[in-house]
Structure 1
Amino acid sequence: MDVMLVAVASVVIIIAVTALAPRAGVAAPLILVLVGVGVSVLPMTPAIEIDPELILAGVLPALLYAAAAAFPAMEFRRDFTAISGMSVLLVVVSAVILGAVFAAVVPGIGLAAGIALGAIVSPTDAVATSIIKKLGAPQRVVVMLDGEGLLNDATSLVLLRSAIAATAASVSVWSVLGDFLQAVLIAAVCGVVVGRLGLWVRARLRNAALSTAASFVVPFAAYAPAEALGASGIVAAVSAGLVTSALAARYLRPQDRISEASNWRTVEVLLEGGLFLVMGLQLFALVEDVRAEHGSLGLALGVATIGAVGIVLVRAAFVLPLLALLERRRRRAEQVRDVVNTLRARWDAHQEATDGGRLTVDAVVAAYAESLPPDIGERRRQRDVERMRRRVEGQWRRGDDPPRRRPDARRPTRRALFQRRAVRKLADIDYLTSAPLGPREGVVLVWAGMRGVVTLAAAQTLPADFPQRSLLVLVAFGVAAGTLLVQGGTLPWVVRRLGLAGSTPPRFTEGTQGLRAVHDTASRVMLDDPDLRRPDGTAYAPAIVARVRDIVLREHQDQVEEESTPEELAAQFFELRLAVIAAQREALLEARSVGTYDSDLLNHALDLLDADQIAVEMRRE
Structure 2
Amino acid sequence: MDAEIFYVIVGAVAVAAVARWRGWPAPLLVTIVALAASFLPFVPEVDIDGHLLLNLVLPPLLYSAALDVSFVGFKRSLPQIRRLGVTLVLLTALAVGFVAWWIFPALTLPGALLLGAIVAPPDAVSAAAIGRKLGLPRRIMTVLSGESLINDATSLTLYRVFAAILAGATLTVWDGIWQFLLAVVVGVVVGLVFGIVLHQLRMRISDPVVIGTFGLLAPFGAYAIAEHLLGSGVLAVVAMGLYVGFNAPRTDYTTRQQEKPLWLSADLLLESFVFAYIGLQFPRVLRDLGSESVGHILLLSGAVLLVVLVVRPLYVYPTSAWSNFQDRRRLARMDRGIASGDFDKRREQSSRWSRYSAEELRSQIVRERMAGLQLTWKDNAVISWAGMRGVVTLATALAAADLASLDSDASHAIVVVAFIVTVATLLLQGLTLPMLIRGLGIASDVDQAEDEKALEAVKEKSRAAGKAFLAEKRLEWEATHGQVDMPLFDAFTKRMTRVEKDTDEAQRVGDAANQPSYEDLVALSRGWLQVRRDILLAERDAGNLDEEVMRELLTAMDAEELALDTRGATREQGRA
TM-score w.r.t. the length of structure 1 is 0.73
Map residues 169-188 of structure 1 onto 2, 5 A cutoff: 169-188=169-188
Q: 1:93 to 1:17 in 2, by over 3 A?
A: same
Question: Which residue of the other structure, out of 505, 516, 522, is the alignment partner of 2:465?
Answer: 522
Cross-structure match for 1:438 = 376
Partner Cα distance (1:277, 1:324) in 2: 39
Partner of 2:61: 63
Match of 1:97 among 95, 98, 102: 95
Is 1:459 aligned with 2:458?
no
Task: Tell me the SS of whatever aligns to 2:231.
Answer: coil
The amino acid across from 2:190 in the alignment is C
CA distance in 2, matches of 1:5, 1:456: 20
Give 1:549's aligned residue. Answer: 493
In structure 2, what is the Cα distance between the partners aligned to 1:186 and 1:23?
42
Q: Which amino acid aligns with 1:281?
A: L
1:34 counterpart residue number: 32
Unaligned runs of 5+ in 1: 340-365, 371-384, 404-413, 556-599, 606-621
Q: How far has the Cα of 1:456 moved from its partner? A: 0.4
How far does residue 502 in structure 1 lie from its aligned partner after superposition?
5.0
Change (3 A) 1:539 1:272: farther
Q: Match for 1:551: what amino acid?
A: R
What's 1:214 paired with?
Answer: 214
Asked if the contact 1:26–1:489 (Cα under 8 Å) also holds between the matched residues in 2, the reply is no
2:417 corresponds in structure 1 to 475
Please say if 1:489 is aligned against 2:431.
yes
Q: How far is the alpha carbon of 1:6 from its aligned partner?
A: 4.5
- Mean Cα deviation higher: 198-207 or 35-44: 35-44
Match of 1:429 in 2: 366
Letter in 2 for 1:476: A
1:540/1:195 Cα in 2 relative to 1: closer, same or farther (>3 Å)? farther
Q: CA deviation at 1:333?
A: 7.0
- What letter corresponds to residue 367 of structure 1 in structure 2? I
Residues 95 and 119 in structure 1, CA contact (< 8 A), matched pair in contact too: yes
Q: Is the 8 A contact 2:120 2:308 kept in 1?
A: yes
Q: What's the % identity of the aligned pairs? A: 31
How far is 1:427 from its partner?
4.8
Residues 384-399 of structure 1 mapped to structure 2, 5 A cutoff = none
CA contact (8 A) 2:89 2:154 kept: yes
> 1:128 offset after TM fit, Å?
3.2
Task: Identify the residue that residue 367 of structure 1 maps to in structure 2.
Answer: 338
Distance in 2 of aligned mates of 1:281 and 1:428: 49
Give distance in 2, aligned partners of 1:281 and 1:421: 60
In the TM superposition, what are the counterparts of 1:129-278 in structure 2 within 5 Å? 129-131=127-129, 132-167=131-166, 168-250=168-250, 252-278=251-277
What whole-Å deviation, never above 9, does each CA across 1:86-105 have from its counterpart, x for those lacking one? 11111111111111000000
Report how far residue 162 of structure 1 moved: 0.8
Q: CA offsets, 1:557-613, max 9 Å, x none?
A: xxxxxxxxxxxxxxxxxxxxxxxxxxxxxxxxxxxxxxxxxxx849989xxxxxxxx
> Does the CA-based 8 Å contact 1:212-1:260 persist in structure 2?
yes
- Of 285, 295, 299 in structure 2, the residue corresponding to residue 298 of structure 1 is 295
- State whether structure 2 residue 279 is matched by structure 1 residue 283: no
Q: Does 1:115 align with 2:117?
A: no
Q: What is the one-letter code of the residue matched to 2:455? A: T
Distance 1:245 1:285, change over 3 A: same
What runs of 5+ residues in structure 2 fail to find an aligned partner?
A: 500-568
- Identify the residue that residue 328 of structure 1 maps to in structure 2: 325
Is the contact between residue 94 and residue 122 of structure 1 (CA under 8 Å) also seen in structure 2? yes
Which residue identity does 1:457 align to in structure 2?
Answer: A
Tell me which amino acid in the other structure corresponds to 1:436. Answer: Q
Q: Tell me how far 1:329 sits from its aligned partner.
A: 5.1
Shift in alpha-carbon separation, 1:116–1:254, aligned structure 2, 3 A? same
1:202 Cα deviation after fit? 1.6
Partner Cα separation in structure 1 for residue 151 and residue 362 of structure 2: 28
Cα 1:59–1:545 shift into 2, 3 Å: farther
**Aligned AA for 1:490?**
T
1:282 positional shift: 1.7
For 1:498, the aligned partner's letter is L
Q: Distance in 1 between matches of 2:470 and 2:357?
A: 24
Mapped contact 1:162–1:176 kept (Cα < 8 A):
yes
| Paired residues of 1:14 and 1:274 also in contact (CA < 8 A) | yes
Aligned residues: 496
Distance 1:257 1:190, change over 3 A: same
Change (3 A) 1:602 1:242: same
Are the equivalent residues in 2 in contact too, given 1:135–1:492 (CA < 8 A)?
Answer: yes
Higher mean alpha-carbon deviation, 282-291 vs 139-148, is at 282-291
| Contact 1:69/1:245 (<8 A) preserved | yes
Shift of 1:253: 1.1
Q: Tell me if the contact between 2:144 and 2:383 (Cα under 8 Å) persists in the aligned partners.
A: yes
The Cα shift of 1:151 comes to 0.2
Query: What SS does structure 2 have at the residue aligned with 1:491?
Result: helix
Go from structure 1 to structure 2 and tell me whether the alpha carbon gap of 1:418 and 1:97 turns closer, same or farther (over 3 Å shift).
same
Query: 1:520 and 1:91, CA in 2 relative to 1: closer, same or farther beyond 3 A?
Result: same
C-alpha displacement of 1:12: 3.5
Query: What secondary structure does 2:224 align onto?
Result: helix
Partners of 2:439 and 2:494 in 1: CA distance: 50
The alpha-carbon distance between structure 1 residues 604 and 138, as it changes in their structure 2 partners (threshold 3 A), is farther
Structure 2 residue 64 is the aligned partner of structure 1 residue 127: no
Distance across 1 between alignment mates of 2:73 and 2:228:
31
Pair 424,26 (structure 1): closer, same or farther in 2 beyond 3 Å: farther
- Residue type of the partner of 2:493? R
What RMSD in Å do the two structures reach over aligned CA positions? 3.4
Could you tell me which residue of structure 1 aligns to residue 441 of structure 2?
A: 499
| CA distance in 1 between partners of 2:465 and 2:433 (Å) | 43
Work out the CA distance in 2 between the residues paired with 1:84 and 1:282. Answer: 32
CA shift digits 1:64-111 (9 cap, x unpaired): 000001101110010101101111111111111111000000131222
1:423 offset after TM fit, Å? 5.6
User: What's the TM-score, normalizing by structure 2?
Assistant: 0.78
State the 1:26 CA deviation: 3.7
How far is 1:11 from its partner? Answer: 3.9
Going from structure 1 to structure 2, the CA distance change for 1:368 and 1:99 (only over 3 Å counts) comes to farther
Q: Tell me, yes or no, if the aligned pair for 2:320 and 2:372 is still in contact at 8 Å.
A: no
Deviations 1:27-47 (A, max 9, x none): 111111122222222233444
